[in-house]
């Protein structure tokens, strides 16, 4: 199982500061996840609305999705959404890798 990470940014031309903050956080979390053996795919395609990306990842069967926008990045949190629905959880960036690992392990155990 792999997670999908969707940065919600306006892009370097429209919001350079917010975009840079988000992407720095994304890189950090992805590195930490990979060091724990978690595969996280970053969806940084431009010109595609977040909702369209979510739909596509759900269709592809990604069990968990991370969302992070400039406001989240400023607060040092990411939003974790499950493909199976249920409420979204806001997780401290430092906790994201272990949170993902725990959730993915639980899903595989079912």
pLDDT in tens, 34-64: 999 999 999 999 889 999 999 999 999 999 9
The CA radius of gyration of the chain, in Å to the nearest whole number, is: 13
**Averaged pLDDT score across all residues of the chain:** 93
Q: Is the pLDDT higher at 110 or at 11?
A: 11
Tokens describing residue 80: 């974790």
Q: Within its chain, how far is the Cα of 101 from the centroid?
A: 13
Task: Find the distance separating the first CA and the last CA of the chain, reported in whole Å.
Answer: 13
Quick check: 70 and 77 in contact, CB under 8 A?
no
Quick check: 7 and 54 in contact, CB under 8 A?
no
- What's this model's pTM, rounded to 2 decimal places? 0.92
Quick check: 81 and 99 in contact, CB under 8 A?
no
The confidence band for 1, taking pLDDT boundaries of 50, 70 and 90, is: low
Beta strands in 40-103 (DSSP E): 40-42, 64-68, 77-82, 89-92
Is pLDDT of 6 > 90?
Answer: yes
């Amino acid at each position: 199982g792999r997670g999908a990470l969707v940065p919600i940014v306006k892009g370097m031309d429209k919001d350079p500061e917010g975009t840079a903050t988000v992407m720095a956080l994304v890189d950090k979390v992805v590195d930490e996840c990979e060091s724990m053996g978690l595969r996280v795919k970053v969806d940084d395609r431009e010109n595609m609305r977040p909702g369209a990306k979510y739909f596509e990842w759900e269709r592809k069967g990604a069990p968990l999705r991370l969302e992070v926008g400039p406001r989240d990045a400023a607060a040092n949190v990411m939003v974790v959404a499950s493909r199976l629905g249920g409420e979204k959880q806001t997780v401290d960036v430092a906790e994201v890798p272990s949170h993902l690992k725990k959730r993915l392990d639980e899903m595989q155990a079912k």
